[in-house]
Amino acid sequence: MDVKNIMIVGVGGQGTLLTSRILGNLAIGAGFDVKLSEVHGMAQRGGSVVTFVRYGEKVAEPIVEEGCADVLIAFERLEALRYLHFLKEDGVVIVNDWRIDPITVVTGAAQYPENIVETLQTVRKTISVEAAKTAIDMGAPKAFNVVVLGAAARYMGFSKEDWLSVIEKTVPQKTVEVNRKAFEAGFCMEKG
């Protein structure tokens, strides 16, 4: 198997690191060589957080080069746009259609770009999911990251059952059931 390059982006507090651990544990369990790397901007809540997960028969380094990501998982629209240049031409963006204003927008130093999802769709295959709304409707707003992961899982070649098994082993025990439901909700969303 060629090396698969996954990039997970969001802001602090969105579960980016947990999501990368779930994917990393899944790939290790499948027998792949796995490398993970975390890049924190301002790692406090609201700052950009990026994780790279690379897996395959032999992975030399943990960093995904620009233009090499197979899948870009974004927990916020602007983060998807900010890191789009890492995606391959034939890669796919899975984006949570959610807006979180960065500090530059909050302070008035910049404006939040309009029509981000539409812009993404003009340049790459883009799957937009309303993960935050789905998680809120489920009564588990913090599980939106696992809804996004469920939607992205269909592009990574592992079975639904394997994903659910790893989620059960990775998330805190008291959150297993809600995370299973969140994953299934995302997995069942229409594949673009």
The 3-class SS string of 91-113 reads EEEEEECCCCCCHHHHCCCCCCC
Domain count within the chain: 1
CATH number at residue 123: 3.40.920.10
192 within some domain? no
| Domain coverage including residue 97 | 4-187
Under the banding of pLDDT at 50, 70 and 90, the label for residue 104 is: confident
In 3D, which of 47, 45, 52, 44 has the Cα closest to residue 17?
Answer: 52
Domain-located, residue 137: yes
Q: Note the pLDDT tens digit of each residue in 31-69.
A: 999 999 987 655 555 677 899 999 999 999 999 999 999
d(CA 119, CA 99): 15
pLDDT tens, position by position, 151-178: 999 999 899 999 999 999 999 999 999 9
